[in-house]
Amino acid sequence: MRPVLTTYRRVFSHPGAFAFSFTGLVARLPIAMMTLGIVLLVSALTGSYALAGQVSAAYIIGNALWSVPHGRLVDRFGQAPVLCVDAVLFGAASGLMVLSLSDGWPLPLPHLLAAAAGAVLPPFGNLVRSRWAHLLDDEAERHTAFAVEGIADEVVFVTGPSLVTFLSTLRAPQSGLVAAIAIGTVGALALAAQRGTEPPVDEERATTRAPVPWAVLVPITAVAAALGCLFGAQEVSTVAMASDAGHRALSGFMLGGFALGSLTAGVVAGAVTTHRSPVQRARTGIALLAVGATVIPLLPGLLTVSLGLFATGLFVAPTLIALFSAIEAASPRSRLNEAMGFASTGMSAGIAPGAWLAGAMADGVGGHASYWVGSASAVVAALVMLTVPDVRARRSVEAELR
């Protein structure tokens, strides 16, 4: 345990590192709260899960479509100005969305406001990873730092849904969304205020527009979409299987086991120094993830499937850490936020079709069999990952300006 703590302590010893990382962790809670909060609010007020799904999907689509332009703006103008604008727009758009749903504004106004709110939610995870990349020169330390953010993602997706559900059912159904809006707005301003660790904008490089590494980004975006499809399908399949078995309430514990496996592996991965490139690590991680996802529909009973989900989850965080490390290694510093936006877009784009396909299969042949949607998605991700060229080091300044 002591070597693990020493590795993380070394990374957080850099001035300002803990402050921006912790701020980013709290600030990204709305990522795991907004969509569920929308579903809880709409279903409570109207009783329509169809409308809830539509508004929630509009939010996800807005976030996905604007991820890359969002990153481009950050690369061009810096984090602080963009975050300040985001804070105002996110608070306004999200607040109006809640008001439109509560007061029954005519359609499609709630959908448009939800899409706008999703678009202007800051990409906190990418912004924090960009700060780590600027702060740390040692590749091993950057690996650990990216592991920290992978762990933060898992923490957010474990605590966020529980928090928004608790708040939405405690008092008014709007409470969960209001809390998420407040966290996102204050978090954006708090991160913007930390100017000492903000990556500087090099005007010459920003205007020169260094080339984007399309050979790396295009297949990684496809991999991210396939992984998003896996995650979306797995959530629906787990709920459907538990419901078929008459134990719907256990679905939360089963999915929590998947997240716990990922969280555990992320902590260990961040403390392990390896000489393998990020692409090599990602290929191995996705291959093992595909094996686990393929075994799950072959397992009988809720208990064995739960154990399978935990075991499969062990390969999630290390894989995502390696994917973002590969993007960081391949991308010019002046376009790093834009490059990371492609992975975010791919992940978001894959969740909805994965959930829909698993739901359709669950309706037709049962929840247990619907796990094959996630299996197929993981296999596709593993195959596409083989086409990503190996990357070992960040591009030099000369390469950026070439």
> CA-CA distances (angstroms) from residue 213 to 8, 56, 141, 249, 331?
30, 32, 23, 45, 6
Confidence of residue 205 (pLDDT cuts 50, 70, 90): low
Q: Pseudo-torsion of CA 185, 336, 154, 80, nearest 10°?
A: -20
Q: Distance of CA 48 to CAs 52, 115, 363, Å?
A: 6, 19, 19
Top pLDDT among 66 and 93 is at 93
The mean per-residue pLDDT over the stretch 29-58 comes to 81
Question: Do 1-201 and 209-402 share a fold?
Answer: yes
Mean pLDDT, the chain, integer: 85
Token reading at 110: 């709630």
Q: Is the pLDDT of residue 377 over 50?
A: yes
Q: Quote the crossing angle between the two packed helices 214-244 and 301-313, to the nearest 10°.
A: 160
Domain ranges (residues) in the chain? 1-201, 209-402
Q: Answer yes or no: is pLDDT of 206 > 60.
A: no
Ranking 77-81, 231-235, 377-381 by mean pLDDT, the lowest is 231-235
In the chain, what percentage of residues exceed pLDDT 70?
A: 93
pLDDT above 70: residue 392? no
CA separation (Å) from 377 to 153, 287, 358? Answer: 21, 12, 11
Query: For residue 379, is pLDDT > 60?
Result: yes
Average pLDDT for 196-212: 70
- Residue 315: the pLDDT is 92
Cβ-contact 13, 164 below 8 angstroms? no
Supply the pLDDT for residue 256. 78
Q: Please choose, from the candidates 361, 351, 348, 391, the residue with its C-alpha nearest in 3D space to the C-alpha of residue 123.
A: 348
Q: Nearest-CA neighbor of 85 among 119, 37, 131, 126?
A: 119
Instruction: Please provide residue 211's backbone torsions phi and psi, each rounded to the nearest 5 degrees.
Output: -65, 140
Tokens of 227: 């992984």
* CATH superfamily name and code, 209-402: MFS general substrate transporter like domains (1.20.1250.20)
The predicted pLDDT at position 3 comes to: 59
DSSP collapsed to 3 states, the chain: CHHHHHHHHHHHCCCCHHHHHHHHHHHCHHHHHHHHHHHHHHHHHHCCHHHHHHHHHHHHHHHHHHHHHHHHHHHHHCHHHHHHHHHHHHHHHHHHHHHHHHHCCCCCHHHHHHHHHHHHCCCHHHHHHHHHHHHCCCHHHHHHHHHHHHHHHHHHHHHHHHHHHHHHHHCCCCHHHHHHHHHHHHHHHHHHCCHHHCCCCCHHHHHHCCCCCHHHHHHHHHHHHHHHHHHHHHHHHHHHHHHHCCCCCHHHHHHHHHHHHHHHHHHHHHHCCCCCCHHHHHHHHHHHHHHHHHHHHHCCHHHHHHHHHHHHHCCHHHHHHHHHHHHHHHCCHHHHHHHHHHHHHHHHHHHHHHHHHHHHHHHHHCCCCCHHHHHHHHHHHHHHHCCCCCCCCCCCHHHHHC
Question: How confident is the model over 295-344, as pLDDT tens digits?
Answer: 999 998 899 999 999 999 999 988 988 888 888 888 887 788 788 888 88
**Which tens digits make up the pLDDT trace of 140-193?**
788 888 888 888 887 887 788 778 878 887 778 889 899 999 999 999 999 999
Q: Is the pLDDT higher at 80 or at 207?
A: 80
Q: Look at residue 396 and tell me whether its pLDDT is greater than 60.
A: no
pLDDT per residue as tens digits for the range 100-144? 999 889 989 999 999 999 999 998 988 998 899 888 888 778 888
Residue 59, φ and ψ in degrees, nearest 5: -65, -45
What's the confidence (pLDDT) of residue 398? Answer: 37
Fold of 1-201: Growth Hormone; Chain: A; (1.20.1250)
* Residues of the chain above pLDDT 90, percent: 35
Residue 393 pLDDT > 80: no
* Residue found by looking up tokens 């290390």 in the block: 318
